[in-house]
Structure 1
């Protein structure tokens, strides 16, 4: 695509249009799963390479393999050399075969009762009714995005994760659970959330470091919060820290490595119908990760001094979904961290089924999530905030109150035994 006459600032927009057009030319049924477009900016300027791949063959982690390999191959070709890429440890085919075998094995089928216990009994719908695959489709979803103040974001992705010995995903999931419990108090006693993960678990010594494919997994977790403490958590009190600790532990309390639910639901003809009949999570959660923001990666908004092989545009990875696909949840919650010149930027997005939730109601949930994060940021700024949880000590059998007492003792603080309650 010739863009030699375009202003530097317009190149990313042109590339975005090219990407949308390339998506329309994908045809999985005919085996067309990837497209590439070269946006030629003319002599002396850095153009854009647009890569589009269907989700059937790629996930977010795969781009960290594909882009360096593409760069190495292109630079080798330009220098007249043969490209030599590092080998792939385990093929996606081998991984798929391994999953199918595990789904039928005794170790996985033995997880069924534990998954059914976690899923529990049917609960009242989160929205006006249950999801309907024919009525609640992607094109009926509404979306809204919120961005935290930079100071709060820096505290949450830095100080808070270090203090509570957890990841950004734990921080986000805990505050989301608190927000839903405050928004819908009837869910506080046990909210099912589908948590999306990278899915690249180390099964049977496989090496997936350089494997490209769609490994993404989803596991349901049951989260209980104490509704009476949620106002205090939003206000920045110690309840915010207790919320993180409790949800962190509950999110880890899944059978095995967490892959078993999908294996038994989709790849085992005996257990599949049983799990499909069990309650489903009304909320989905996906932390997309941390990326360099487009302007910082690309050398500035004018797109003039852009260096080769830097991400361009507002995001490093974009995507689109067939509008006719069924919605999978009443509410989907997503988040991403972008590193900017001013500091880390934390953005939250909610998507919801418009037939089942009023926009004002869904926005209230998003705003409550923001307040929960603000409360946690305020609490985490206290040097005394933080602490370990039982899952941090794999070789010891310690309750939360025992850990709290030990940490207080080593810090020289006075402590008093108490019964730990999930928040």
Structure 2
């Protein structure tokens, strides 16, 4: 049985491996805390219609034995890679700060299902689908997400604790994108919808507060009378990115998500990945077995 210090040391190495990689700048300069502040933030909100959102959050994750975030983040990784290529950049990987909701089962015997209140945790994850698209990209990203230790909750404990781990993590390059999927929300009893904050500065927020990411994406699914609608709000420092560039990336994300829905609907995508199985098989072995099974059935 590992001691707490041995477990922390092992997890630190995992985080160093996750963050390690070439820089992938989205803007021509880094964030400036004196200039890139909340008062100068810009926002864009786009909605994905119900006929796409419905299967995107049900049929597509089910086809890959995964979760909604597996699909949403695959689309984002593909969109960022394409967006970068169109602007002369290289590389297919992207480092993202992923926000979670702090209820990971990391303490044996602890029941967090009835805890009340808003919990949150943020941790980095490097996603890289390589040169593949469609179902192969989903499988790759899904496994990268499953490789995050304990759902990411330990990163904050190490990063903001005492000791050498905090110092090492503080020296790493920060993620330029933050992503938070808030899940599905039904309309209130009064008929009003629960919505994300408006484009204006939220009440009580310090307008001089420095922004921490080049791009922040907050997405939520609203269950409306006509069906579920995925709504995504993109926020960025106005002096770093042009609104047209952000819109291109946002629309590229929705385009990638539409393509995944179409692939699954056509029966061209889906299947298991190594983390689904109790035996050790790599993805190519799993794909061969599934192909052979389909040919026999």
Superposition TM-score, scaled by structure 1 size: 0.63
Tell me the equivalent position of 1:146: 46
Structure-2 change in CA distance of 1:346 and 1:317 (3 Å): closer
* CA RMSD across the alignment: 2.4
Partner of 2:55: 155
Map 1:45-124; keep pairs closer than 5 Å: 105-121=5-21, 123-124=23-24
* Cross-structure match for 2:266: 382
In structure 2, the partner of 1:82 is none
Distance of 2:65 and 2:134 partners within structure 1: 15
2:104 to 201, 211, 219: 201
Q: Give the match's secondary structure for 1:351.
A: strand
* Gaps in structure 2 of 5+ consecutive residues: none
Distance 1:159 1:209 in 2: 26
The reply to whether residue 218 of structure 1 matches residue 122 of structure 2 is yes
- Once residues 138 and 35 of structure 2 are traced to their aligned partners in structure 1, the CA distance between those partners, rounded to angstroms, is 36
Structure 2 CA distance for aligned equivalents of residues 123 and 318 of structure 1: 31
- Aligned twin of 1:248: 142
**What TM-score do the two structures reach when normalised by structure 2?**
0.88
2:270 aligned counterpart, secondary structure: coil
User: Partner of 1:184: helix, strand, or coil?
Assistant: helix
Q: Give the structure with higher Rg (CA).
A: 1
Counterparts of 1:25-64 in structure 2, within 5 Å, are: none
Q: For 1:180 and 1:317, how far apart are their aligned partners in 2?
A: 23
Q: Distance in 2 between matches of 1:135 and 1:104?
A: 41
C-alpha deviation, 1:110, in angstroms: 2.7
Whether the aligned pair in 1 keeps the contact of 2:93 and 2:130 (CA below 8 Å) is no
Shift in Å, 1:259: 2.0
Show the 5 A alignment for 1:3-402: 105-121=5-21, 123-185=23-85, 186=89, 188-202=91-105, 203-227=107-131, 229=132, 239-294=133-188, 297-298=189-190, 300=191, 313-315=192-194, 320=202, 321-393=205-277, 395-402=278-285
Q: Which residue of 2 aligns with 1:407?
A: 290
> Do 1:293 and 1:316's aligned partners in 2 also have CA atoms closer than 8 Å?
no
Shift of 1:106: 2.9
Q: 1:373-410: per-residue Cα shift (whole Å, max 9, x none)?
A: 111111121134311111112x2211111111122222
How many angstroms does 1:188 deviate by?
A: 3.5
Q: Identify if the C-alpha distance between structure 1 residues 214 and 315 changes in structure 2 by more than 3 Å, giving closer, same or farther.
A: closer
What is the distance in 2 between the residues matched to 1:289 and 1:124?
28
Secondary structure of 1:205's aligned partner: coil
CA distance in 2, matches of 1:164, 1:144: 30
- In the TM superposition, residue 113 of structure 1 has moved relative to its aligned partner by 2.2
Unpaired runs of at least 5, structure 1: 1-102, 230-238, 301-312, 415-423
Q: Distance in 1 between matches of 2:135 and 2:21?
A: 29
